């Protein structure tokens, strides 16, 4: 019994250490013919039965008009609302292979994480076109959206979508360009305390919205931090979800952060800025208006 | 002083009684020995005395009062029991170990007083282990350990000593000195009840022998009357003769080789 | 043990606590620290010292004291130097309670209660299993019953986590690694009551543990009601452990290692061993928390991981001495 617990401690410790590697080995950037696993993409007939295992790509597919051709999604893909009518085939990470195969897809879109590689191999062995994208940043969104548009035969609409989003982002950036840039701590999780790091699209949105992420020096999309470290970095604002904000306001230890004591705890729309996808532009606008009220129309 | 009256005991989930109606008495000033083959119920008697096993039938009395009504602490104040095995997982010093003998008097609440300290010192001297006071109990030889255990039992202060196999693993010299000590304690007025499988040794020192066979008393009385060849052969199921060495002055059991 | 050594033990605890309050991610000079302790000077320093660091240190002291005493009592009663506070399935039960609580969305205030309830259920179940097996208070049967209950709890945790949301899994894993970072004064007060009352009770019956350490027959021969005494120690020690788990998650090795350290300093009788284990356990956990905070900024190593890392080399050393 002590042996089991010792092993779990060691395992958990290793996991924790592993989680703190700055970034996963970055795959070769997806050029016109490769996905984020480095696998070549062939452009053929537009697929008619698409399974998307990623909230961002599901939302994207609906936005470029491929929604009706979706026959499966992962369980937490609920944007836009019409996505709920697409049957769920289970988890996005380590997907349920059989459930996906049961929908007889001709295209499967995965999130390009390390633990999805076995699933990707399995789908390819079954003769299904499989593409994996790691849309963690705005640039990746732009590139992946255009690629997905080519694969599904909706290049024109994809291009328009990307252009619109980028235009909005540029507009927001211009509107906040000359405003003072406060530092911001974005609270993503409570136990342990997880901060949004420099590698996340959310950090990029903050930059566009005229603020500076107080953890921008961390290359990973997120990092586990201590309360004392946040106090040391002394952000001007703290962004938290609607659920966490009241608890943090009421907590004595969170009030050690001067920003929270001074009432500068802002609630951000976690749904709107939750995915690096179609709503990136709207997300940037909401963040900008949160930090610089009235700056963006 | 300690009376067993028709004591019957059965272990849980056993089909037969471990003890089936044993009656014997250990009196002050006498050394009483319980002997018998393995499994005859000798150690069971001790366990029944200290209440580790409930009685099926009969009664155990100490100075006329039932052991069950006396309560553990009072019983321990009157009767000191030295069990067969003791754990040395966390060794104490000899002086600390002997002081544990005062536990029946002190419990968890009382602080040790002059009477307690005197009892401990007297017991250490009586057992002849005064020069071992500051040694750890796991650093003692077999003979020294038995004497120290005896000192603890004496520190309990009662008139009765019950010992379960006190000389197991001891060599001849240590065996004899322990028995001389026990004999002396009996003569000084204590009731000494001991269990031993070493018939010959016990026969030289005991005033009374009780021979147990399959949970019942096969014979009881002075060593001469109990150590009869026919009784012993029946109980030990082995051919033997009983001889009498004039130098020793006590009956001696001699087992024969099977032809 | 000599008076000087006792003084040394207490001084070590005081020094460790001061160090833990003085050192952290935010640098605070000695003079600023002295000001902050008196509630004067830089507001940030005051907040960091009083709201973040002192509660952690206070909780660490209580957790260490509780686990140290629990371990010392159980080792003596079981006559086994490898006994430790999570023996009767306390850790498994508490973890099940916490995981179920997390799945039900319990907040920081109610989660400790769920963990505590789970721990108590496990301990009661262990007693029940032992009773059903027909043993009256035989520590070996209780030990095996605890192993059975603990194994069952671990299986239950795996089943629950396999189907849980990733967020619940992460929460549960973090909780199981142990931490004093969420220390609140309410938790500290509640744990203080348990440690004082439970620890006090164990110290009172300390002489019984001395006697039990001789073996059950010998203890019975000295007039102790062995079965009741064993059950009492097990229950109080498990309650202490459950209280620490509910406040700080699973912090392993403390209850196992600390009594050995105190015995190595020459303490033999259990009343003194219990007090020494409380002080030494507190020092150990305070230092472990400090290490966890400074070893890998900006994040912290879980408390249970640090104590495990300390415990392993300790055992290697012990094993070599045995062999």
Domain ranges of chain C: 3-322
Q: Average pLDDT of A32-44?
A: 84
Task: List, edge to edge, every strand of the sheet that includes B57-62.
Answer: B19-26, B2-9, B57-62, B65-66
**Residue numbers in chain C where pLDDT is lower than 70:** 135-138, 322-323
A18–C contact, CB cutoff 8 A: no
The answer to whether the CB atoms of A12 and C86 lie below 8 A apart is: no
Query: Which two three-digit tokens encode residue A92?
Result: 């996005």
Alpha-carbon distances of B138 from A62, B135, B146, rounded to whole Å? 80, 8, 12
- Under 8 Å between Cβ of A57 and A275: no
Distance, in angstroms, between C209 CA and closest chain B CA? 10
- Predicted confidence (pLDDT) at residue A1 exceeds the cutoff of 50: no
- Predicted confidence (pLDDT) at residue B205 exceeds the cutoff of 60: yes
The answer to whether the CB atoms of A13 and C302 lie below 8 A apart is: yes
The answer to whether the CB atoms of A191 and C182 lie below 8 A apart is: yes
Residues of chain C contacting residue B87, judged by C-beta atoms under 8 Å apart: 79, 213-215, 218
> Which of B186, B153, B146 lies closest to B167, judged by CA?
B146
The answer to whether the CB atoms of B108 and C206 lie below 8 A apart is: yes
Chains A and B touch (3+ CB pairs under 8 A): no
Residues of chain A contacting residue C174, judged by C-beta atoms under 8 Å apart: 191-192
Dihedral, CA of residue C255, residue C257, residue C262 and residue C266, to nearest 10:
130
- Tell me the per-residue pLDDT of B74-123, one tens digit each, with 9 for 90 and over: 999 999 999 888 878 888 999 999 999 999 999 899 999 999 999 999 99
- Predicted confidence (pLDDT) at residue A2 exceeds the cutoff of 70: no
- Under 8 Å between Cβ of B75 and B62: yes
Q: Which residue from C221, C268, C269 is facing B50, i.e. has the nearest CB?
A: C221
> According to the model, what pLDDT value does residue C323 have?
60
- Tell me the per-residue pLDDT of C241-299, one tens digit each, with 9 for 90 and over: 999 998 998 998 999 999 999 998 889 999 999 999 999 999 999 999 999 988 887 77
Domain ranges of chain A: 21-153, 173-291
Q: Is C117 helix (H, G, I), strand (E, B) or coil?
A: helix
User: What is the CB neighbour count within 10 angstroms for residue A91?
Assistant: 15
Chain centre to alpha carbon of residue A141: 10
| CATH superfamily, region A21-153 | Nitrogenase molybdenum iron protein domain (3.40.50.1980)
A21-153 matches A173-291 in fold: yes
Q: Average pLDDT of A37-45?
A: 87
Q: Which residue from C76, C80, C222 is facing B76, i.e. has the nearest CB?
A: C222
B51–C contact, CB cutoff 8 A: yes
* Residue in chain A lying closest to C48 (CA): A256
- Tell me the per-residue pLDDT of A85-131, one tens digit each, with 9 for 90 and over: 999 888 888 888 888 888 889 999 999 988 888 889 888 888 899 99
- Under 8 Å between Cβ of C213 and B87: yes
Chains A and C touch (3+ CB pairs under 8 A): yes
- The per-residue pLDDT of chain B, averaged, comes to 88
Is the ipTM higher than 0.85? The answer is yes
Topology of domain C3-322, per CATH? ABC transporter involved in vitamin B12 uptake, BtuC (1.10.3470)
A191–C contact, CB cutoff 8 A: yes
Q: Which residues of C228-246 are buried (b: 16+ CB within 10 A; e: fewer)?
A: ebbbbbbbbbbbbbbbbbb
Distance, in angstroms, between A46 CA and closest chain C CA? 34
- Predicted confidence (pLDDT) at residue A16 exceeds the cutoff of 50: no
Banded pLDDT at A10 (limits 50, 70, 90): low
Q: Average pLDDT of A146-151?
A: 92
Q: Is A110 helix (H, G, I), strand (E, B) or coil?
A: strand
- Predicted confidence (pLDDT) at residue A69 exceeds the cutoff of 90: yes
Topology of domain B2-255, per CATH? Rossmann fold (3.40.50)
Give the CA count within 13 Å in the CB-facing half-sphere of A267. Answer: 10
Q: Which residue from A2, A225, A228 is facing C24, i.e. has the nearest CB?
A: A228
Q: Is C233 helix (H, G, I), strand (E, B) or coil?
A: helix
Query: Which two three-digit tokens encode residue A42?
Result: 């062939």
The answer to whether the CB atoms of C81 and B89 lie below 8 A apart is: yes
- Predicted confidence (pLDDT) at residue A4 exceeds the cutoff of 70: no
What would be the CATH architecture of the domain defined by A173-291? 3-Layer(aba) Sandwich (3.40)
> Which of C215, C45, C245 lies closest to C139, judged by CA?
C215
* Residue in chain A lying closest to C163 (CA): A91
Helix (H) or strand (E) holding A187: strand A183-189
Q: Average pLDDT of A277-282?
A: 89
- Predicted confidence (pLDDT) at residue B258 exceeds the cutoff of 80: no
């Amino acid at each position: 019994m002590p042996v089991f617990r010792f092993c779990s401690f060691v395992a958990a410790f290793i996991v924790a250490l592993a989680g703190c590697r700055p970034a996963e080995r970055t795959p070769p950037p997806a050029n016109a013919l490769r996905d984020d696993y480095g696998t070549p993409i062939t452009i053929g007939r537009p697929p008619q039965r698409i399974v998307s295992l990623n909230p961002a790509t599901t939302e994207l597919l609906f936005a470029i008009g491929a929604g009706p051709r979706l026959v499966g999604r992962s369980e937490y893909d609920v944007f836009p609302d019409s996505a709920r009518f697409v049957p769920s085939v289970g988890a996005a990470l380590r997907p349920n292979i059989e459930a996906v195969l049961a929908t007889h897809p001709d295209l499967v879109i995965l999130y390009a994480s390390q633990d999805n590689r076995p699933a990707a191999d399995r789908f390819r062995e079954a003769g299904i076109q499989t593409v994996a994208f790691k849309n963690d940043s705005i640039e990746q969104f732009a590139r992946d959206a255009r690629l997905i548009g080519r694969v599904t035969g909706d290049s024109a609409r994809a291009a328009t979508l990307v252009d619109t989003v980028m235009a909005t982002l540029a507009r927001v950036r211009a509107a906040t360009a000359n405003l003072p840039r406060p530092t911001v701590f974005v609270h993503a999780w409570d136990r342990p305390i997880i901060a949004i790091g420099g590698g996340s699209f959310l950090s990029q949105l903050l930059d566009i919205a005229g603020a500076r992420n107080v953890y921008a020096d961390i290359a990973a999309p997120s990092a586990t931090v201590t309360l004392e470290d946040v106090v040391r970095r002394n952000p001007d604002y703290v962004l938290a979800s609607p659920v966490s904000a009241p608890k943090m306001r009421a907590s004595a230890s969170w009030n050690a952060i001067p920003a929270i004591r001074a009432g500068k705890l802002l609630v951000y729309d976690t749904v709107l800025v939750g995915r690096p996808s179609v709503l990136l532009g709207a997300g940037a606008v909401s963040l900008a208006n949160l930090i610089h009220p009235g700056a963006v129309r | 002083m300690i009376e067993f009256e028709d004591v019957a005991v059965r272990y849980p989930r056993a089909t037969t009684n471990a003890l089936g109606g044993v009656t014997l008495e250990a009196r002050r000033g006498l050394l009483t020995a319980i002997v018998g083959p393995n499994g005859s119920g000798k150690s069971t008697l001790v366990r029944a005395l200290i209440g580790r096993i409930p009685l099926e039938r009969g009664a155990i009395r100490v100075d006329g009062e039932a052991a069950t009504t006396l309560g553990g602490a009072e019983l321990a104040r009157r009767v000191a029991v030295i069990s067969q095995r003791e754990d040395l997982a966390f060794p104490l010093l000899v002086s600390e170990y002997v002081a544990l003998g005062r536990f029946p008097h002190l419990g968890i609440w009382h602080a040790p007083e002059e009477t307690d300290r005197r009892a401990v010192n007297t017991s250490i001297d009586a057992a002849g282990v005064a020069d071992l006071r500051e040694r750890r109990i796991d650093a003692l030889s077999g003979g020294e350990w038995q004497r120290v255990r005896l000192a603890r039992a004496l520190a309990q202060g009662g008139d009765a000593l019950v010992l379960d196999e006190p000389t197991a693993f001891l060599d001849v010299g240590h065996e004899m000195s322990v028995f001389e000590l026990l004999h002396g304690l009996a003569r000084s007025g204590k009731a000494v009840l001991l269990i031993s499988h070493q018939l010959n040794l016990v026969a030289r020192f005991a005033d009374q022998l009780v021979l147990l066979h399959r949970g019942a008393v096969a014979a009881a009385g002075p060593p001469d009357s109990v150590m009869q060849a026919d009784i012993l052969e029946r109980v030990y199921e082995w051919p033997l003769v009983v001889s009498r060495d004039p130098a020793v002055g006590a009956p001696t059991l001699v087992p024969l080789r099977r032809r | 043990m000599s008076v000087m050594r006792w003084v040394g033990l207490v001084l070590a605890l005081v020094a460790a606590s001061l160090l833990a309050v003085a050192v952290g991610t935010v640098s605070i000079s000695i003079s600023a620290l002295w000001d902050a302790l008196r509630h004067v000077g830089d507001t940030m320093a005051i907040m960091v010292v009083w709201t973040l660091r002192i509660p952690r240190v206070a909780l660490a002291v209580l957790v260490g004291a509780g686990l140290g005493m629990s371990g010392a009592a159980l080792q003596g009663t079981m006559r086994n130097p490898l006994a430790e506070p999570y023996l009767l399935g306390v850790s498994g039960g508490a973890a099940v309670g916490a995981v179920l609580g997390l799945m039900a969305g319990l907040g920081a205030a109610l989660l400790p209660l769920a963990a505590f309830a789970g721990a108590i259920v496990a301990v009661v179940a262990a007693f029940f299993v032992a009773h059903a097996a027909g043993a009256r208070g035989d520590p070996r049967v209780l030990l095996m019953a605890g192993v059975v209950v603990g194994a069952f709890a671990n299986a239950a945790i795996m089943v629950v986590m396999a189907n849980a949301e990733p967020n619940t899994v992460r929460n549960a894993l973090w909780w199981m690694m142990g931490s004093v970072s969420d220390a609140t004064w309410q938790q500290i007060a509640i744990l203080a009551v348990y440690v004082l009352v439970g620890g006090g009770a164990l110290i009172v019956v300390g002489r019984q543990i001395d006697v039990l350490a001789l073996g059950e027959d010998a203890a019975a021969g000295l007039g102790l009601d062995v079965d009741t005494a064993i059950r009492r120690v097990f229950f109080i020690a498990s309650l202490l452990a459950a209280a620490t788990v509910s406040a700080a998650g699973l912090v392993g090795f403390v209850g196992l290692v600390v009594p050995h350290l105190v015995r190595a300093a020459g303490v033999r009788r259990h009343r003194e061993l219990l007090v020494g284990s409380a002080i030494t356990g507190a020092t150990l956990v305070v230092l472990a928390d400090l290490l966890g905070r400074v070893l890998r900024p900006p994040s912290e190593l879980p408390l249970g991981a640090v104590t495990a890392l300390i415990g392993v080399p300790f055992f290697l050393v012990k094993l070599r001495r045995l062999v």
